Chain A
């Protein structure tokens, strides 16, 4: 196969110097090359959103981005949400509102919601629903996810 190129993935503030083929997806590089398996792969074609991470402040689907495209950019994954033992308000809200069952889609929803709310704290309920409808969950029926994100949004607004 083609040559590997050295790149640096800055994940949750830590540099991972890795070498990847041009075709390697960001999702695979985060999981396999950097060992951060909290980011999940659900469909590999950008529909389910389980692989959502935040790159330079934007939620992106890491299965649709090549690792090389993220070279040097600031990447945040679910592993970086909590501060030590203190859960992020979004994580706490998912627990309080039973917004997860199997937990496979959860990291993607957390990063999607956190990314959007950090960028747009005053987002309307309708727009928030639009955003959340871009990821798939097969367990919960979504209503508890929506409740959780709304509760966390209120808390994040209060904190900022």
Chain B
């Protein structure tokens, strides 16, 4: 039997270079003779471009070129990657603004200079004359026109099943809420960057600084620049966080590539933080008008939700993803006999939107779980009891939700939701916790507990390929089309390969994010890598193992079924006789190249992990400040390949969830001027704001859709954080339904208390 590696908290293969200053992040890449690129951005939220005067900038010593829209007139707008829905195309963004600007931060011109300081000086000299137009800033308010004949309501997403109208007519009670979530984003610590160069000898355009989806971006850049895809390569180095935003195809990436071709010199673009906060995708901002029809005992009969998604100024690569997921995933773990969601995707004069970790679910979980709390209040039962009465049961699995998203039918593959609630309640010491809260309240403290549940999705297909190469020296390379944004892909894939193949963990190198190493790949998003790349790896490793045993069997004078592989050595299962290194077998196959195998995993269904969040908070009635004192997440992941990394994903997500619940928000003034343009305005949690966290990893419901039972963990920590914290604040203040908007800033909470 091969030694167990899957399921162990192995230390990460990724860590040594990152700990010793040998990382290769985008800004660490440089080429001789490179030009620094600086983007000149709109200072107006909405306006007509009257003129762009680049003469003074061009005259500055060290400036090589200054471009405006005319210089990139050949380039089409950036296409949509996800959600192939008709009607999005006219709203896509050109790489430099033509005629109009639609948000503060929109690229209008671009400077190429000898170094970054000179480029920034020159950018200040570009004079953009803009005739200001009124800005549309409220996606739930009046719509406007994007262009003549194109309203700012891009599309309306509708999903549902059953007869909701009939249920509302006959219901004992109807519970209605209006809820909103603020504008947040992933804000990775590394800003974006793109370094492009053209190698004339090989007619090859290269871009470094790729992340997340290098193959798709390579293909799109090829289309936009009119080049063969085989004449472009993208290279992913280290990536300083992803969270949905990093690695999508942005205007700056395309401009850098085009400039490297046109100007004949390498071009390096590194975003600064202010740019990052106004130009990299935003997310989240939604307003939900949700209602439930219930019976006298609090059983849900129907749910209806109309929501407004603030997409910002343009439709970007994610298309309708966020609103589509919000509508599809809103039902969560509950039995909802009839359901209708209507999601309005609307443009505003703000930074364009995309996905941010648990896109659409942070928002719709907040809406649904607030609704469950309101149902509990209406039915006169506890929030936990309201959930218990409505949860889907283990026997319901697999459960067809009767809606689809991202080209897949939503079918919960496995789950024991009630079982996980019990685990969460046991792990928190629920009664002890409630007693402690009661005691502290008597002593005058304002403390409370909130609980929220969710179903997560992961493992989006449709495919992933893996090639494993075993060299004659015994070194193993796993080549994937996945990407790493810091989550530990190399370690997890190496664990799956090592155990399946029977190789030593530390002999494995995992290659990802290099378009010249594998024909196709889908990258890292939607908590997909461990599931899709992991299963493709298992298949390739299994095939290679079978081949090695078949070759070794005659050499070892036995049958392949009598052999096993562990730690790189083939031995008889009964322990008798000599053993043989897999390297020796590889050499016997091909002394120069060794042995290799390839496999694909195709899947048209996602897999659905699920979780419970519990928050304990203290509220300061004087200041409106909220302190999260303790946080628990119980999460059923099916099978945890590396529990330490799963916990790391969840704790990191909790921190982002707490940020979104209490601190983080992109605010704008009435003209559309962004007010959150530094880390002093866009407040992310520090070590002070994050409490001790307990993570319960459960493996009760392995996925039946892949042999290892894998599901993803990337978005578990953030998903229900807004919902759980809102419930805890309500509980602390003894005011059910008080919190209707995230983030709950001290100012807002004070105002809400004053209004009561």
Cβ contact within 8 Å between B687 and A145: yes
Contacts of B655 on A, CB cut-off 8 Å? 138, 140-142
Known A-B contacts A133-B686, A141-B651; A104 and B19 likewise in contact (beta carbons under 8 Å): no
Q: Does A159 contact B (CB under 8 A)?
A: no
Alpha-carbon gap, A140 to B647, bound state (A) = 9
Cβ contact within 8 Å between B117 and A1: yes
Alpha-carbon gap, A21 to B118, bound state (A) = 12
Which stretch in B187-195, B324-332, B388-396 binds the other chain? B187-195
- B190 to nearest A CB, angstroms? 4
- B571 to nearest A CB, angstroms? 32
Q: Does A52 contact B (CB under 8 A)?
A: no
Cβ contact within 8 Å between A138 and B188: yes
| One of A78, A101, A144, A145 near B486 (C-beta < 8 A) | A101
Q: Does A62 contact B (CB under 8 A)?
A: no
- B434 to nearest A CB, angstroms? 25
Alpha-carbon gap, A36 to B117, bound state (A) = 19
Known A-B contacts A91-B20, A104-B189; A142 and B690 likewise in contact (beta carbons under 8 Å): yes
Q: Does A8 contact B (CB under 8 A)?
A: no
In B99-124, the 8 Å CB interface with A consists of 116-118, 121
Cβ contact within 8 Å between A101 and B684: no
Q: Does B485 contact A (CB under 8 A)?
A: yes
Q: Does B179 contact A (CB under 8 A)?
A: no
Q: Does B652 contact A (CB under 8 A)?
A: yes
Known A-B contacts A1-B117, A139-B486, A143-B693; A100 and B652 likewise in contact (beta carbons under 8 Å): no
Which stretch in A41-49, A64-72, A116-124 binds the other chain? A41-49
> How does the 8 Å CB contact mask read for B472-499 relative to A, with 1 for contact and 0 for none?
0000000000000111100000000000
> How does the 8 Å CB contact mask read for A33-64 relative to B, with 1 for contact and 0 for none?
00011111111110110100000000000000
Contacts of A82 on B, CB cut-off 8 Å? 20
Main secondary structure, interface of A, reads loop
Alpha-carbon gap, A141 to B649, bound state (A) = 9
Alpha-carbon gap, A78 to B18, bound state (A) = 10
Q: Does B201 contact A (CB under 8 A)?
A: no
Cβ contact within 8 Å between A101 and B20: no
> How does the 8 Å CB contact mask read for A98-132 relative to B, with 1 for contact and 0 for none?
10111111110010000000000000000001101
> How does the 8 Å CB contact mask read for A139-157 relative to B, with 1 for contact and 0 for none?
1111111100000000000
Alpha-carbon gap, A95 to B491, bound state (A) = 13
Residue among B121, B242, B273, B654 with the highest chain A CB neighbour number at 10 A: B273
Alpha-carbon gap, A134 to B686, bound state (A) = 7
- A132 to nearest B CB, angstroms? 5
| One of B15, B23, B240, B656 near A95 (C-beta < 8 A) | B15
Known A-B contacts A41-B27, A43-B678, A143-B692; A100 and B18 likewise in contact (beta carbons under 8 Å): yes
| One of A79, A132, A137, A142 near B189 (C-beta < 8 A) | A137
Contacts of A143 on B, CB cut-off 8 Å? 651, 690, 692-693
> How does the 8 Å CB contact mask read for B607-648 relative to A, with 1 for contact and 0 for none?
000000000000000000000000000000000000011011
Q: Does B576 contact A (CB under 8 A)?
A: no
| One of A96, A98, A107 near B21 (C-beta < 8 A) | A107
Q: Does B431 contact A (CB under 8 A)?
A: no
Cβ contact within 8 Å between A43 and B19: no
- B372 to nearest A CB, angstroms? 26
Q: Does B441 contact A (CB under 8 A)?
A: no
Cβ contact within 8 Å between B117 and A21: yes
When C-beta atoms are compared, the residue in chain B nearest to A21 turns out to be: B117
When C-beta atoms are compared, the residue in chain A nearest to B273 turns out to be: A43
Q: Does B717 contact A (CB under 8 A)?
A: yes
Cβ contact within 8 Å between B241 and A102: yes
In B137-192, the 8 Å CB interface with A consists of 186-191
| One of B16, B243, B679, B717 near A136 (C-beta < 8 A) | B679
Which are the 10 A-B pairs with shortest beta-carbon distances?
A38-B21, A102-B486, A103-B18, A104-B240, A141-B651, A47-B679, A141-B655, A78-B21, A133-B686, A79-B21
Which chain A residues have a beta carbon within 8 Å of chain B's beta carbons? 1, 21, 23-24, 28, 31, 36-45, 47-48, 50, 77-79, 81-82, 87, 91, 94-96, 98, 100-107, 110, 129-130, 132-146
Can you report 27 residue pairs joining A to B where beta carbons are below 8 Å apart? A1-B121, A39-B21, A40-B240, A41-B27, A48-B679, A79-B22, A91-B19, A96-B11, A98-B12, A100-B18, A100-B19, A102-B189, A102-B240, A103-B486, A104-B188, A105-B189, A138-B187, A138-B189, A138-B243, A139-B189, A139-B652, A140-B655, A141-B652, A142-B655, A143-B692, A143-B693, A145-B687
Contacts A45-B679, A145-B687 known; 11 new A-B pairs at CB < 8 A: A1-B121, A21-B117, A36-B21, A42-B191, A44-B272, A45-B678, A101-B486, A101-B487, A103-B23, A138-B655, A142-B687
